[in-house]
Amino acid sequence: SPKEDLLRLANDDIMSGSVIGIQKNAIKIKTSFAEVDIPLDRVGLIQFANKNDAAKGKLPKGMVSARLKGHGSLTFRLKSWQNGKLEVESPDFGAATLEGSIVESITFNPSKKRALGGKGSLSKKELKKRLREKEKGIIVPPPPIVPKKNK
């Protein structure tokens, strides 16, 4: 795990330092040589240094994990979700407003262990099938729950 924040740029160059903030479509990063503003459209990935409990697998209470459309995920405290906007706060990047349209899914209580294949979990294939059916206006009832036989 990195000791400094890492930026992978669109051209695959890597910068290291401390991300100070994101404003006006640019990331400000303090490097060993200067503070630099990098336009967001030139950034491919931000990997924050592991400075908090999340790095040790212990998320603070109230944190959620969001999978983003395209790729990537964020962990943050969800303050509100209204009018398609998420107000969030993170120990990594502070307070921010996110567009709800970029969120694919949110896991509440991400530190809680869950049974694999338990009730309510669908395969990726089944999720995609249901999304296609929903887009076509086809409403499909959920599959029946089949009890597992004890051996």
Instruction: Please give, one letter per residue, the 3-state secondary structure of the chain.
Output: CCCCEEEEECCCCEEEEEEEEEECCEEEEECCCCEEEEEHHHEEEEECCCCCHHHHCCCCCCEEEEEECCCCEEEEEEEEEECCEEEEEECCCEEEEEEHHHEEEEEECCCCCCCCCCCCCCCHHHHHHHHHHHHCCCCCCCCCCCCCCCC
Task: To the nearest 10°, report the CA torsion of 150, 120, 72, 81.
Answer: -150
The 10s digit of each residue's pLDDT in 23-72 is 778 888 999 999 999 988 888 888 887 765 444 556 777 888 888 887 77
Query: Do 70 and 105 lie in a common domain?
Result: yes
Task: To the nearest 10°, report the CA torsion of 65, 57, 61, 45.
Answer: -40
Query: Do 66 and 102 lie in a common domain?
Result: yes
Position 125 in a domain: no
Position 40 in a domain: yes
pLDDT at 2 over 60: yes
Question: Mean pLDDT throughout 96-122?
Answer: 73
What CATH number has the domain bearing residue 35?
Answer: 2.30.30.100
Q: What is the pLDDT of residue 120?
A: 58
Query: Do 77 and 100 lie in a common domain?
Result: yes
**Single residue among 13, 36, 51 that ends a domain in this structure:** 51
Out of 14-23, 92-101, 117-126, least confident range: 117-126
Question: Which pairing describes strands 5-9 and 26-30: parallel, antiparallel, or unpaired?
Answer: unpaired
Give the range of the structural domain holding residue 100, as residue numbers without chain letter: 53-112
Query: Do 5 and 15 lie in a common domain?
Result: yes
Domains: count for the chain: 2
pLDDT at 118 over 80: no
Q: What is the pLDDT of residue 139?
A: 66
Query: Do 1 and 31 lie in a common domain?
Result: yes
Mean pLDDT rounded to a whole number for the chain = 79
- 37, 22 Cβ separation under 8 angstroms: no
Q: What is the pLDDT of residue 30?
A: 92
Query: Do 35 and 63 lie in a common domain?
Result: no
The terminus-to-terminus CA distance of the chain in angstroms comes to 43
Query: Do 70 and 97 lie in a common domain?
Result: yes
Query: Do 30 and 59 lie in a common domain?
Result: no
Query: Do 62 and 46 lie in a common domain?
Result: no
Tokens 């999340």 found at: 54
Which two tokens mark 71? 């790729």
Query: Do 62 and 35 lie in a common domain?
Result: no
